[in-house]
Amino acid sequence: MPFTCFHTVHDAVPRSTPITYGYDASRRTMDLVRTWTGRQFIHSGNWWNITPEKRTKEIVLEAQVKKINKHVVGLMSMNVQPGNEPMYWINDDSTGEHMQECLANAIHARDELENQGINAPLYCALQPSTKTMAEIWFQKAIDNDFQHLCVGVSEFLRSPKYRKEGIGRIFEFVITAHNVLGDTGKLHLSGLMSYAMLPVVARLGVTSTDGSTPVQSALAYGSVFTPGTGRGTRASQLIEKNRDAGWKCDCMVCNGLDLESVQDAMQDRSSRVQHNIHAWTDLVDEINHAILPNPSRWFHEHEESISKTMRRYWMRATSLLDSST
Ligand SMILES: [Zn+2]
């Protein structure tokens, strides 16, 4: 099954790029979305920055339904976390009540879509904290006839102190989900655009992700990512950081320019967005055409050229995969 990354909506993103937007997307965003030809995924909103009264299962679904158009390939049901603490998963003492609510929200959304005669693919969003919780609740979702699952993962990557642990959990959830879904279901990770993690999660069975990294870091931090390794550099330091390795990119901005001219061009925020999206699109192409058809061979051939981080993730995921079978 082909792997897809859904990116943030921005004017500099090519209109054929897959995008994601929330049920709460602004009128301005939706005006831009109407010019789009790429596939679209409608998010159920980031729980940590929306007040609970504005994010109920009814409000979310109604707003999502209004946004459905012929390019929409997925709707995410409303996920719920235990409380408002983003690090809930590290010392989990929840009763699992929120998981029941997640499942109930998905069932509500499915029944409503059916009643209204809408057949947009619905992703049942669940928020496990542990592998055991994932095993139990992914299975319950399957038993309730869901074939598409979704997990919000940004909170697992949020704290530098617990990132290693968080990444391990994400890998475990993905392996667990793939085991219960088999090859016919779909699995979406929301809030994941890490260049180094994408090939790894795709290889483990994730079929799509959404995230803001290539667009937001270009706008907020002036970051430009090196194609092939995904290393982020501030636009003003491009020459300094890439003098030895050189710069190879055939995006609309860099194509044919020397490194000095690329650095000049990257002073413009839209150029940074265009370039970064191109880097991610190339990675997704490589995942679909070279990695998924034969993961071991790809790794064997690219072990030396990929980033150290990607290599480390790949090896960790491989050992988790081996121990799960
Ligand atoms: Zn470029």
Chain segment 72-102, per-residue pLDDT in tens: 999 999 999 888 888 889 986 777 899 999 9
pLDDT of residue 265: 97
Residue 77: which of 136, 149, 174 has the closest Cα? 149
Cα 305 to averaged position of ligand 1 atoms, centre (Å): 19
Cα 309 to averaged position of ligand 1 atoms, centre (Å): 22
pLDDT of residue 53: 86
Cα 239 to averaged position of ligand 1 atoms, centre (Å): 14
Cα 314 to averaged position of ligand 1 atoms, centre (Å): 26
d(C-alpha 30, C-alpha 189), whole Å: 23
User: Could you report the average pLDDT of every consecutive run of 10 residues in the chain (325 residues)?
Assistant: 96 98 97 98 87 91 98 97 86 82 98 96 96 95 97 95 96 97 94 97 98 96 94 95 90 94 97 98 98 97 95 96 86
Q: How far apart are the first and last CA of the chain?
A: 21
pLDDT of residue 292: 97
Domains of the chain in sequence order: 4-211 (3.20.20.105), 217-280 (no CATH)
Q: Where are the beta strands (DSSP E) in 91-207?
A: 122-125, 148-152, 186-190
pLDDT of residue 154: 94
Q: What are the structure tokens assigned to 263, written together?
A: 């650095």
Across the chain, what does the average pLDDT equal? 95
% residues pLDDT > 70 (the chain):
99
- In sequence order, which residues have a C-beta less than 8 Å from that of residue 164 and are 6 or more positions away? none
pLDDT of residue 63: 97
The model's pTM? 0.96
Cα 180 to averaged position of ligand 1 atoms, centre (Å): 40
The torsion angles phi and psi of 21, rounded to 5 degrees, stand at: -150, 160
pLDDT of residue 183: 87
% residues pLDDT > 90 (the chain):
87
Tell me 233's DSSP state. Answer: E
Cα 256 to averaged position of ligand 1 atoms, centre (Å): 10
Summarize pLDDT for 160-195 with one digit per residue, the tens. Answer: 999 999 999 999 999 999 999 998 899 999 999 999
Cα 82 to averaged position of ligand 1 atoms, centre (Å): 42
pLDDT of residue 244: 87
Residue 225: which of 276, 174, 274, 176 has the closest Cα? 276
d(C-alpha 116, C-alpha 113), whole Å: 5
